[in-house]
């Protein structure tokens, strides 16, 4: 069984409440339940969410030390601003997939650039919460 970590950054704890016209009505708890139902026999999950950059960086380092098999990360707004998170991902040497619930290319120009994407194997954008499922499928096939 593979160990897959799911990291969510700032404001993703507000899923289901914050801008449902963009992010939908499901919550992180719903996502966790759905991932466990779909992949429970193939993956052991470590779910983590923080609104704090340093906590996410510390978690990436801990996951690297624990040698998880894969990482799905939605860094929220930090995706577009955090060199420190990018450096943590590069230094972790973990197979990672970046996920965006919305299509970042249909949104504000500043969201079109991801600082963290070059530290990841792939990027999934615009599939809603299904993007997490696609990322996990990809990591399980590696």
Report the predicted TM-score, pTM, of the whole model to 2 decimal places.
Answer: 0.95
pLDDT (tens digit, 9 = 90+) per residue, 98-108? 999 988 888 87
Helix (H, G, I), strand (E, B) or coil at 7: strand
Helices (H), the chain: 20-23, 28-39, 53-66, 83-92, 130-140
Containing structural domain, residue 44 = 2-140
Say how many domains are in the chain: 1
CA 71 to chain centre: 7
Read off the CATH number of the domain in which 32 is found.
3.40.50.9100
Q: Which is nearest to 138 in space by CA: 34, 60, 43?
A: 43
Predicted confidence at residue 24, as pLDDT, reads 85
> What pLDDT score was predicted for residue 19?
84
CA 41 to chain centre: 21
**H or E element in which residue 49 lies:** strand 43-49
Residues 18-63: pLDDT tens digits?
Answer: 888 888 899 999 999 999 999 999 999 999 999 999 999 999 999 9
Residue 20: per-residue pLDDT: 84
When comparing pLDDT for 136 and 21, which is higher? 136
With a CB cutoff of 8 Å and minimum separation 6, the contacts of 100 are 74, 79, 123, 124, 125, 126, 131
Nearest CA-CA partner of 101 in 69, 71, 133, 60 = 133
Average pLDDT over every residue of 85-98 = 98
- Looking at the DSSP assignment, which residues form a beta bridge with residue 6? 47, 72
- Active-site positions read 23, 100
């Amino acid at each position: 069984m593979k160990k897959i970590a799911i990291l969510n950054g700032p404001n993703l704890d507000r899923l289901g409440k914050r801008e449902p016209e963009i992010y939908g009505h499901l919550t992180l708890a719903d996502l966790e339940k759905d991932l466990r139902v779909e992949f429970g026999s193939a993956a052991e999950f470590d779910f983590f969410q923080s609104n704090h950059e340093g906590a996410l960086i510390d978690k990436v380092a801990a996951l690297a030390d624990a040698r998880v098999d894969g990482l799905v990360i939605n860094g929220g707004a930090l995706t577009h601003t955090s060199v420190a998170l990018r450096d943590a991902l590069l230094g972790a040497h973990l197979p990672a997939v970046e996920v965006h619930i919305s299509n970042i290319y249909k949104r504000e120009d500043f969201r079109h650039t991801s600082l963290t994407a070059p530290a990841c194997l792939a990027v999934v954008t615009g599939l809603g919460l299904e993007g997490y499922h696609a990322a996990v499928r990809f990591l399980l096939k590696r």
